[in-house]
Amino acid sequence: MAKLKPINVGGVLVSNATLHNEDEIARKDVRVGDTVIVQRAGDVIPQVVAVVPERRPADAQPFVFPNRCPVCGAPAEREVDEVGAADARRRCTGGISCSAQAMEGLRHFASRNAFDIEGLGEKQIAAFYDWGWLREPADIFKLGRFADELMKKEGYGELSVANLLRAIEQRREIGFDRLIHALGIRHVGQERARLVAMHYSDPRAWLDAMDAAKDLSGEAWLDLNSIDRMGEIVAAAIVGFCTRPQSRAVIENLLLELRAVIPPEKPRQDSAVAGKTVVFTGTLEKFTRDEAKARALALGAKVAGSVSKKTDYLVAGPGAGSKLAEAQKHGVAVLSEDDWLALIGG
């Protein structure tokens, strides 16, 4: 992000502009103190287009990205894919031993699309971590030990503590796909978590298979790669997470705290949208985006985040923008919310 002296761009006062990533900064040779040309991409997002070289300060130096995490000191590295291309982002390699990653992992774990624990947000997680009560997901289910102490803290009372502990208890039974997504495995979002959960059915079968695939070879490795939308980079990330001693302990400790892990329903193969690729855009009024995606997946559809010539349906609510234009360009069928509900049977 470039911090700019405020300037009016297309009627909007801009003081921040995207620099995209490390490679783009090097390609454009953007330096602190430079005068730059700024535009609003798509008339929305401010971005640095180029540097004005004749106005560069004499002492301006190329920006050097840190190669150590500023929180834990572990190496900050750019992953390299199978063809040798470096990832755009530089990431801390400290894992959950890095307090910043540990807290972000806990926040993700409790978030809406993961364990969805009401009352356990970023602020509460940061406080519990600072007080030494939380270090890994399993600790969430042990917070009852600190109930009396918590009620003495500012902002907490008997009712709020009881509500929090009740919300936690309700999550001792969880869907297998939610559990996988909640772990925060690199490259594994909701949809991939669901596909993995459907393939292995329960945590023990999954972990045993990942142990068998540890060398990234053999029948178990090939079986993992046979899952739709997998690929070797994602597969390696899953195997690595499940077999690394530190993260494996996190999974095992969590499983000890859960009453039941519920396998996902198999998607229907006889619905009108089975096998079709669907994209949702705009402001949906009859259901939330998450509800729409979950229903589509249950009916056997594939949900994508962007429109391409492979898209079968674009479900567009009010305010649909570039995705609608892209759908029209590719001849993709555009449905209203009512059209979509009629197609899937309400």
Q: Which domains does the chain have, with CATH numbers?
A: 2-55 (2.40.50.140), 96-174 (1.10.150.20), 175-262 (1.10.150.20), 277-344 (3.40.50.10190)
Task: Give, for 209, the enclosing helix (H) or strand (E).
Answer: helix 203-212
- Tell me the per-residue pLDDT of 132-143, one tens digit each, with 9 for 90 and over: 999 999 999 999
- Integer Cα distance of 238 and 240 in angstroms: 5
Q: pTM of the prediction?
A: 0.75
- Integer Cα distance of 106 and 121 in angstroms: 9
Residue 38's SS3 state is: strand
Report pLDDT for 298: 84
Structure tokens at 73: 């000191």
- Tell me the per-residue pLDDT of 36-46, one tens digit each, with 9 for 90 and over: 999 988 778 89
> What angle, 0 to 180 degrees and rounded to 10, lies between the N-to-C axes of helices 245-257 and 203-212?
160
55, with CB counted inside 10 A (0-12, 13-18, 19+), is: exposed
- Tell me the per-residue pLDDT of 144-179, one tens digit each, with 9 for 90 and over: 999 999 999 988 999 999 999 999 999 999 999 999
- Integer Cα distance of 115 and 247 in angstroms: 18
Beta-carbon neighbour count of residue 85 at 10 Å?
10
What does 46-110 look like in DSSP terms, one character per residue? EEEEEE-GGG--TT--B----SB-TTT--BEE--B-TTSPBPSS-EE--GGGSHHHHHHHHHHHH
Residue 258's SS3 state is: coil
- Tell me the per-residue pLDDT of 265-313, one tens digit each, with 9 for 90 and over: 877 788 899 989 999 988 888 888 878 888 888 888 888 888 888 899 9
Residue 288's SS3 state is: coil
Asked if 21 and 27 count as a contact pair (C-beta separation under 8 A), the reply is no
- Tell me the per-residue pLDDT of 224-234, one tens digit each, with 9 for 90 and over: 999 887 889 89
